[in-house]
Amino acid sequence: MEAIAKRRAVATRGVSVAGVTRILGGKAVLDGLDLDVAPRERLGIVGRSGTGKSTLLALVAGLDEPDRGTVRVAGQEAAVGRLEHCALMPQGDSLLPWRTALDNAGIALENDGLSRSAARAQARPLFARFGLEDAEELRPARLSAGMRQRVAFVRTLLARKDVLLLDEPFGALDAITRGELQEWLGDALADEPQTVLLVTHDIEEALLLCDRVAVLARGRIAAVLDVDVDRDVADPAFVELRKAALEAIH
């Protein structure tokens, strides 16, 4: 019964990828991939570079179409319908250098037709919540790499979509900043109701931040691991899970 309810929830509000193949440059980057993500679930997608993690996110976001198979987000199969439900935080921060941090964060609201000042007013409380008050009027060039990522995350949140797609959000950061931001993102996501797909090549990051981790290898999901252990990197169960993920990658 529980499985049936979960399947129904995925079909109506979650993300469902069924038998998806995507061929790029004559090569099947994704090859008959199946994946279900329940509403409000946080799913990590790990894999080696070039295994199609970002391609998968683009397909879910409605920015790309599969050659075979179907992708549904909240029951919507058409690309336009998927786009309506997904907000993408791309690799790198993709902040607009000519806008201040606050104006960058509120851009989705401006796209909705709000005035710039109204968008800023809505973005401001999130800046306060995420410790970015001093950065409001600074342009991206004046922000540290970590702050830029946080502004990009606030921008993604302000799109007010059901599904957040985070594509290697900390890929370009140094180890210390990365660790700090992983902790910060964990706290930030804890209060958010959205479904989250986090693409990363860092297994530990996925295990620390997600409910489940899907391992992508050879164009398919090689394993799906439930993270039902303490989020403690020294915990033997955590170490075991990391080892299982590593084996699935290879």
Tell me which residues touch another protein (CB under 8 A): 58, 61-63, 83-84, 86-92, 94, 96-98, 107-108, 110-112, 139, 141-144, 155, 159, 161, 165
- The helix/strand/coil state of 95 is coil
- In angstroms, give the least distance from the CB of 171 to another protein: 13
Tokens of 65: 């179409």
CB of 112 to another protein, least distance (A): 6
Residues in CB range of 134: below 8 A, 6 or more apart: none
CB burial string 143-179: b at 16+ within 10 A, e below: bebbbbbbbbbbbbbbbebbbbbbbbbbeebeeebbe
CB of 211 to another protein, least distance (A): 23
- Considering beta carbons, is residue 156 or 200 the nearer one to another protein? 156
Query: In terms of CB distance, is 138 or 249 closer to another protein?
Result: 138
Locate tokens 């990658």: which residue?
A: 249
HSE, side-chain direction, 13 A CA sphere, residue 247? 9
Q: How far apart are CA 108 and CA 82, in angstroms?
A: 16
Least separation in angstroms between residue 203's CB and another protein is: 25
Comparing CB distances to another protein, the nearer of 147 and 245 is 147
- Closest to another protein by CB, 165 or 241: 165
| Residue number with CB closer to another protein (165 or 214) | 165
Nearer to another protein, 5 or 144 (CB): 144
Give one word for 42, left, alpha or beta, with left for phi > 0 and alpha for psi -120 to 50: beta
CB of 137 to another protein, least distance (A): 12
**Alpha-helix runs per DSSP H in the chain:** 2-13, 53-61, 79-85, 101-105, 107-111, 116-129, 145-158, 175-190, 203-209, 236-249
Least distance in Å: CB of 20 to another protein?
A: 19
